[in-house]
Amino acid sequence: MLKEERFDHILKELKTANRVSYEVLSKELKVSEDTIRRDIDALHKRGLLVKIRGGGINPASNPLSFQDREHLFTEGKSIVALKAHQFLINTRTVFMDGGTCKANIEII
């Protein structure tokens, strides 16, 4: 089966059930779970589904995507960034994780 045919099958299943799994898809399509995992990775990169543990879900089923969270609690995030700024005056590199704060602070 061609990759494009697998993609079509995966997207049809996703539209029907809002969720797909590596295990079920590999049995239905008679390919390895690794092949399905790569297919789901490719579809995720194109924004056609959201990867979850063991498979994928419809993007509409995940209302709290990065883009959604980016616009939540912006005032609070800005306050945290401004308070942290005082500790970062002489810092050249800052690593952050676990949030979506975008602050327009120049660190010189």
Q: What is the mean pLDDT of each run of 10 residues along the chain (108 residues)?
A: 93 93 96 96 92 89 66 82 83 67 50
Tell whether 26 and 46 lie within a shared domain: yes
Same domain, residue pair 79 and 104: yes
Query: What pLDDT shows up at residue 108?
Result: 45
Q: How many domains does the chain have?
A: 2
What range does the domain containing 7 cover? 3-61
pLDDT at 81: 82
Q: Give CA–CA dist 88/98, Å, rounded.
A: 19
What is the reported pLDDT for 88?
82
- Asked whether residue 34 falls in the same domain as residue 78, the answer is no
Q: Do 50 and 18 fall within a single domain?
A: yes
- Whether residues 53 and 77 share a domain: the answer is no
Antiparallel, parallel or unpaired: β 50-52 and 19-21: unpaired
pLDDT of residue 83: 86
Q: How far is CA 79 from CA 18, 82, 103, in A?
A: 38, 5, 9
Contacts of 80 (CB under 8 A, 6+ apart): 101
The residue type at 43? L
Do residue 74 and residue 90 come from a single domain? yes
Pair of tokens at residue 27: 């049995």
Question: Has this prediction a pTM greater than 0.85?
Answer: no
